[in-house]
Amino acid sequence: MGNLQEGDKAPVFKGKDQNGKNVSLTDFKGKRVVLYFYPKDMTPGCTAQACNLRDNYDQLLKKGYVVVGVSTDSEESHQKFIAKYELPFTLLADEDKKIVHQYGVYGEKQMMGKTYDGIHRTTFLIDENGEIAHIIKKPDTKNQTEQILELWV
């Protein structure tokens, strides 16, 4: 996992969203950004996390937050995920793994005795000045919004 710390300047990411539109951290200057990294569209934990953010999206908007999800899935996969679960926020398709490496969330994982490389589920809360205010290294997929609001009022 990466060496980013709270208080560090957030790496300026650039990627394509679910519709092929270019998105960068600089697009959100002056806003609070919830940048969450998740392993795979349509999987149980990732769906629970996305739906928790969806169900509390209005509350996050009222607090001035922008929500951006990132995985290494394709734009097409993101489109299906968004359509199936009616997700109101942007998902970035990081197929070349550039953003996940910038943020240090891609690396060795283990599941059921097998070792493989993948995304470590992590949420970065980036303040209006582009600094990392908080890092949630073990997001609670069913209560992600509550974790965010407890840290960042």
Q: Which residues are catalytic?
A: 46
How many helices and strands in the chain, by DSSP H and E? 5, 9
DSSP secondary structure code for residue 20 in this structure: S
Contacts (Cβ under 8 Å, ≥6 apart) of 13? 24, 25, 35, 70, 92, 98, 99, 102, 103
In degrees and rounded to multiples of 5, residue 85 shows phi and psi of -110, 5
Q: What is the dihedral of CA 24, 88, 41, 95, to 10 degrees?
A: -20
By CB atoms closer than 10 A (0-12, 13-18, 19+), residue 108 is exposed
